[in-house]
Amino acid sequence: MSKTEVETAERPKGEEEGVNVVGVGLTSFGEYPDRTTRDLFGEAAQKAFESSSIKRDDVDMVYYGNFIAELSELQGHQGPQMAQAAGVRAPATRVESACASSGAAVREAVKEVRNGESDVVLVGGAERMNNMGTAGATEGLAAAADALYEIKAGVTFPGAYALMARAYFNEFGGSREDLGNIAIKNHKNGAKNELAHFQREIDMVDVLEAPMVSDPLYLYDCCPISDGASALLVASDTYAKEHGLDGSVSIIGTGQAGDSLALQNRKHLAKTPATTEAAREAFDDADVSIDDVDAVEVHDCFTIAEVMALEGLGFYEHGEAIKAATNRETTKDGSLPVNLSGGLKAKGHPVGATGAAQIAEMVKILKGEHPNAPENAEVGLTHNAGGTVASTTVHILQK
Amino acid sequence: MSKTEVETAERPKGEEEGVNVVGVGLTSFGEYPDRTTRDLFGEAAQKAFESSSIKRDDVDMVYYGNFIAELSELQGHQGPQMAQAAGVRAPATRVESACASSGAAVREAVKEVRNGESDVVLVGGAERMNNMGTAGATEGLAAAADALYEIKAGVTFPGAYALMARAYFNEFGGSREDLGNIAIKNHKNGAKNELAHFQREIDMVDVLEAPMVSDPLYLYDCCPISDGASALLVASDTYAKEHGLDGSVSIIGTGQAGDSLALQNRKHLAKTPATTEAAREAFDDADVSIDDVDAVEVHDCFTIAEVMALEGLGFYEHGEAIKAATNRETTKDGSLPVNLSGGLKAKGHPVGATGAAQIAEMVKILKGEHPNAPENAEVGLTHNAGGTVASTTVHILQK
C-alpha cells in the first residue's frame, strides 16, 4: 500500500500530528564493559543529531529506556543524566519495561508528538551488562521475571524460554534444526550489519555442535549479552515541514499490551497473547493491514521467541512459524524478511536499547540505506518484548 | 478563583479532556520490611477501586512509579506485575525518576487522559526499602545521584542536601531553629494523619537535642526511610459524567523539568531552577495564577528542601522561605498551608509512592475529607522532586 492510499484512508483522529523519524543514532553493539551507559547513550544521541539538522535546543522532551543500570552501575534517575549526556535541556523520563524498555519509551514519544505536547522528542535507550560478568548479568536479567515466584525457584531466562520452547515442541512439533535455521538466517543478516555484535555467518554444524544452555535451547539459540545504545529523533509533520527535515519515514501505528509476569499464570506457555493484542492495536492505529508489511524486526532474544512472535503478530498460524526460516520464507529474499538487522541474535541485545534500535534499523531498511534492505519496502513492523512477553510494544513504520 | 471562572477562561487546547481524580488509595506509610511492593501496591489499588465505582475492566492503561525495586527485591519489570497485583488487564509502564517517579507517572497519566488515548488510567507507585537495612537503603537511595561523580566521592543524600543547606545559609542566612520549625510543623500535621509514618508531635527541644546527621542537618531535618504505596484512578470528564463518578477534583495543570544530575554542574547550590520551570509550565497549563493556590504539598525530603521548593515554586523570593514556618505562614492556619499531610518528613517517603501520594492527600484536602483540610480550599499544588531536584514534576488540582 502506498503512503498516499494510507493518508487518504479514514483515520479515527484526524487532528493528530504525523510522527516522523528524522534522526537515528546507534552505537555498535558488543562487549564494552568499561563504557558507562551515559557514554554509550551520549554517542548514540550525537549520531542522531548528526543525521539530522535538528538543533538540541529544539528538543522538547526526552524518553529513555533502560532496564538495570541500578544493578550494573548503581545508577538510577537516568532521565536527567541522559538528557545531559545528549546535550539537551528538556524534561527527561526513564521508562523501564525490561527488554521492552525503549519500545515503551518510543510509544510515549509517539503519543507526545502525535498529540501536540512536543514538536521534537529524543527517545532511545542504553544498557551496560558486560561489566557485571556473565553470572551477574544473568542474575540482573532475571529481574525481568517474577523474583518471588520464578527466580527464587531457580529459573533464569534461558530456562524460562526453554520451558516455552518445550511446550511449543510438545504441542506443535519442530526440531533443533528449525530453530537453528533462524539463528543461521539472523547471523547471515548480521554479517552485513557493521554495527552488529556478531558480524559472521554460522552454519548447521556450528548449531548442532554448540553446547546446550537449557534444553532444548543451545548456544546459538540465545542472544548475547551486549552493551550499546540507540537514539531516535522524532518530530511532528508540522515541525519537519517547517524545518525542511527528511520526514520520509513515519511511525504510523503503536500498540502495547501486557500479560502476567510469571509464566505460571499463563494459559499457554507457547503463545504470547500480549504480542497479539499489541499488534491488533498497532494495526488499528496505523490503518494498514498485515498484508501491507514488507519487513519485520521481532524480539528474538531466543530463536523460539522469533517463532512465537511471528505467530503472535499474525503472520503465521500457531504452530506454523517454526518452519518459516527452514522454508526460507523469512530470509532476506523470502516473502517476509524477518530481522534483516541480524535481530537480537546477531545484532545483539543491549536490553534498554533494543526497542528503539529496532526502529532505527527499520528506518534504514525502509529508506534503502541498509545493506540488507529489500527493494521497494514501504511498511515495516517492529516488535519488542519484555521478560517472557509479559509486556510488548509493536510499532508500524511507513515510507 | 472558583472553578467556573477558570472553566470560562481561555484554554490553549480547547478540545482536551478534563482529568478527574475519581479514586484514591494509600497504604499507611511506615516500616514494612516483610511486605513486597506488589503487596503494597495491590492494597493501594484495592483502596482506590473501593473509593470509586470504576470497574477494573474499564482501566485502559497503568503507569507505575518505582525507584529501586531492582535493588530492594531484585525485581524490575514491575509494570505488568503491578497491573496484575491491581487485578487489571491493561498495558502497564513503569516510570522511574528517582523520588519523582510517581509524579512523572501521574504526568504521563494526565497526558494520556487529556489527549483521549485512555478514558481511565490507574497510576501510582510503591517502594520498599526497610528490608535493605539503613545502610542498604542509604546506598540504594544514592542511585538517584550521580554514581560516578558524586557517590564515588562519598556523598549520600543527607550529605548532598547538607551542601545545599550550607550554601543557602551562607548566602541567605537562617538557623537550625528555622529548619526545626518546618519539622515541628510537619510533625504536627502528620500527627492528625492516620496513614503517616510518624503520628506524633515534636518540639524545639527534640529538634535541638537530636543527633547530627550531616551538618547543618540533624535527625529531625531528615525524612524517614518508609515503605508504602499510592494509587489514583484518573478519568476523563466524558467518562466520569457518563458513569456518574465524583469528578469534583481535577488535575488542571502539569509541569516537568530537569537539571544536571550532579550538584557540581549547577550554577547555584541553593536554588532549584527545575522546580521553577516545572511550576511555570504547570501554571501556564492550568491557567490559574500562583495567588489562586490555597494549599501546597512540597517535596520536603529534608527541611531545607521545603524552603528551596517554596522559593523555586515562586511562593517566596529567594532567601525568604527559611522564615516561613518560624513566622507561622505555612502552618495549618497560616496564609499558605504547606504539607498538611505531614509532608515527607512526618507522613514518610516511600520513594516511588510519594508523587502520587501527594496528589491523593491533596484530593482529600480539597474535598474537605482530610483532618487538616482548611475551609474552602479550591486550588492545590503538589511538587515532587527527584535527587537533588534534578527532576521535578508540579501538578495543580482544582475542586
**Other residues' Cβ atoms within 10 Å of the Cβ of residue A374:** 16
Q: Which three cell numbers stand for residue A154?
A: 531457580
Cell triple for residue A329?
A: 520464507
Contact B77 A386 (CB under 8 A): yes
Grid cell in block for residue B331: 502552618
CA A206 distance to own-chain centroid: 26
Alpha helices, DSSP H, located in B256-334 = 273-286, 303-313
The predicted-structure confidence for B297-340, as pLDDT tens digits, reads as follows 999 999 999 999 999 999 999 999 999 999 999 999 999 999 99
A98 touches chain B (CB under 8 A): yes
| pLDDT tier at A8, thresholds 50, 70, 90 | very low
Residue A99 main-chain phi, psi, to 5 deg:
-70, -10
Distance CA B75, CA B77 (A): 7
Q: How far is CA B399 from CA A129, B236, B370, in A?
A: 48, 15, 14
Instruction: Look at A68 and B76 and tell me if their CB atoms are within 8 Å.
Output: yes
Q: Average pLDDT for residues B173-194, to the nearest whole number?
A: 98
Residue A92: name the closest of B100, B63, B147, B357 by CA. B100
Q: Is the pLDDT of residue B254 over 70?
A: yes
Residue B13's pLDDT is 44
> Helix (H, G, I), strand (E, B), or coil: what is residue A131?
helix
Residue B393 has pLDDT above 50, yes or no: yes
Give the nearest partner residue to B80 out of A81, A147, A390, using CB atoms: A390
Q: What residue of A is the nearest CA neighbor of B265?
A: A84
Chain A contact probe: residue of B261, B277, B280 with most A CBs at under 10 A:
B261
Nearest of B255, B246, B327, B245 to residue B288 by alpha carbon:
B255
Name the DSSP class of B37.
Answer: H
Decide if A76 and B68 are in contact by the 8 Å CB cutoff: yes
- SS3 label, residue A289: coil
Q: Is B117 on the interface with A (CB under 8 A)?
A: yes
pLDDT of residue A350: 98
DSSP state of A218: E
B99 noted as active-site residue: yes
State the average pLDDT over residues B86-96: 97
Query: pLDDT tens for residues A287-322?
Result: 999 999 999 999 999 999 999 999 999 999 999 999
B187 flagged as catalytic: no
Q: What is the identity of the amino acid at B332? A: K
Mean pLDDT computed over B265-280:
97
pLDDT cut 90: percent of chain B above it: 95
Mean pLDDT, all residues of chain B: 95
pLDDT tens for each residue of A162-221 = 999 999 999 999 999 999 999 999 999 999 999 999 999 999 999 999 999 999 999 999
pLDDT tens for A227-281 read 999 999 999 999 999 999 988 999 999 999 999 999 999 999 999 999 999 999 9
The amino acid that residue A84 corresponds to is Q
pLDDT computed for residue A9 by the predictor? 32
Name which of A15, A77, A145 is nearest B97 (Cβ-Cβ).
A77
pLDDT band at B2 (very low <50, low <70, confident <90, very high): very low
Q: How far apart are CA B393 and CA A243, in angstroms?
A: 30
- How many residues are listed for chain B in this entry? 399
Q: Which residues of B touch A79 (CB under 8 A)?
A: 96-97, 104, 258, 391
> How far is A174 from A325, CA to CA, in rounded Å?
12
CA angle B80, B86, B90 (to 5 degrees): 50
Q: Is the pLDDT of residue A2 over 70?
A: no
A257 CB within 8 Å of a chain B CB? yes
**A285's torsion region: left (phi>0), alpha (psi -120 to 50) or beta?**
alpha
**pLDDT tens-digit profile of A14-58?**
478 999 999 999 999 999 999 999 999 999 999 999 999 999 999
Task: For residue A238, give Cα distances in angstroms to A91, A114, A246, A314, B377.
Answer: 21, 11, 12, 34, 41
The C-alpha atoms of residue A61 and residue A41 are separated, in whole angstroms, by: 16
Mean pLDDT of B10-14: 40
Calpha distance A192→B346 (Å, rounded): 60
Strand (E) or helix (H) holding A108? helix A101-114
Integer distance in angstroms from the first to the last C-alpha of chain A? 10
pLDDT bracket for residue A12 (50, 70, 90) = very low
d(CA B166, CA B176): 11
Most B CBs within 10 Å: which of A77, A101, A151, A272, as the mutation test of the B interface? Answer: A77
Asked if B1 and B379 count as a contact pair (C-beta separation under 8 A), the reply is: yes
B259 touches chain A (CB under 8 A): yes
Q: What is the per-residue pLDDT for B10?
A: 34
Which of A93, A97, A147 minimises the CB distance to B97? A93
Pairing between strand B217-218 and B212-214?
Answer: antiparallel
Nearest CA among A347, A346, A377 for reference residue A362: A377
pLDDT band at B246 (very low <50, low <70, confident <90, very high): confident
Q: How far is B390 from chain A (nearest CA, A)?
A: 6
Strand partners, B256: B393
Inter-chain touch B80–A258, beta carbons under 8 Å: yes
Q: Inform me whether the C-beta atom of residue A67 falls under 8 Å from chain B C-beta atoms.
A: yes
The residues near B122 (Cβ < 8 Å, ≥ 6 apart) are: B45, B48, B59, B61, B62, B63, B83, B86, B88, B90, B231, B232, B233
CA–CA distance, A179 with A324 (Å, rounded to integer) = 10
Contact across the interface for B71 and A67, Cβ inside 8 Å: no
Buried b (16+ CB within 10 A) or exposed e, A352-372: bbbbbbbbbbbbbbbbeebeb
CB of A345 within 8 A of CB of A339? yes
Percentage of residues in chain A having pLDDT higher than 70: 96
The torsion angles phi and psi of B381, rounded to 5 degrees, stand at -125, 140
Mind listing the pLDDT tens digit for each residue in A331-359? 999 999 999 999 999 999 999 999 999 99
Give pLDDT, residue A247.
85
User: Is A68 buried (19+), middle (13-18) or exposed (0-12) by CB count in 10 A?
Assistant: buried
The answer, for A314 touching chain B at a CB cutoff of 8 Å, is no
Q: Are A228 and A349 in contact, with CB atoms under 8 Å apart?
A: no
User: Are residues A15 and B13, on separate chains, in Cβ contact within 8 Å?
Assistant: no
Q: Name the H helices within chain B.
A: 3-8, 37-50, 69-72, 78-85, 101-114, 133-141, 157-172, 176-190, 204-209, 237-242, 273-286, 303-313, 343-347, 354-367
Taking an 8 Å cut-off on Cβ atoms, the answer to whether A91 and B391 are in contact is: yes
The answer to whether the CB of B25 falls within 8 A of the CB of B49 is: yes
B116 contacts in chain A (CB < 8 Å): 13
What number is the average pLDDT over the span A86-102?
Answer: 98
Whether A388 has its CB under 8 Å from any CB of chain B: the answer is no
Q: Which residue has cell 527528511?
A: A246
Question: What are the residue ranges of helices labelled H in A230-339?
Answer: 237-242, 273-286, 303-313
Tell me the nearest-neighbour CA distance from A153 into chain B, angstroms: 14
Phi, psi of A56 (to 5 degrees): -60, -35
pLDDT of residue B3: 34
- Does A258 contact B98 at a Cβ distance shorter than 8 Å? no
Residue A80 to residue B139, Cβ atoms within 8 A: no
Q: How many C-beta neighbours within 10 Å does residue B153 have?
A: 12
Instruction: Tell me the C-alpha to C-alpha distance, in Å, between residue B316 and each of B151, B277, B328.
Output: 32, 15, 14
Provide the pLDDT for residue A67.
98
**Set A187, A197, A349, A383: catalytic member:** A349
- Rounded Cα–Cα distance for residues A280 and B9 (Å): 40
Say yes or no to pLDDT of B25 above 70. yes
For A268, residues 6+ apart whose C-beta sits below 8 A from its C-beta are: A167
Per-window interface: B 178-207 vs A, CB < 8 A: none
Check pLDDT > 90 for residue A390. yes
* Phi and psi angles of residue A252, each rounded to the nearest 5 degrees, phi first: -105, -10
Query: What's the confidence (pLDDT) of residue A181?
Result: 98
A113 contact residues in B (CB cutoff 8 A): none
Residues facing B24 on adjacent strands = B232
Distance CA B226, CA A345 (A): 42
Cis peptide before A33 (omega within 30 of 0): no
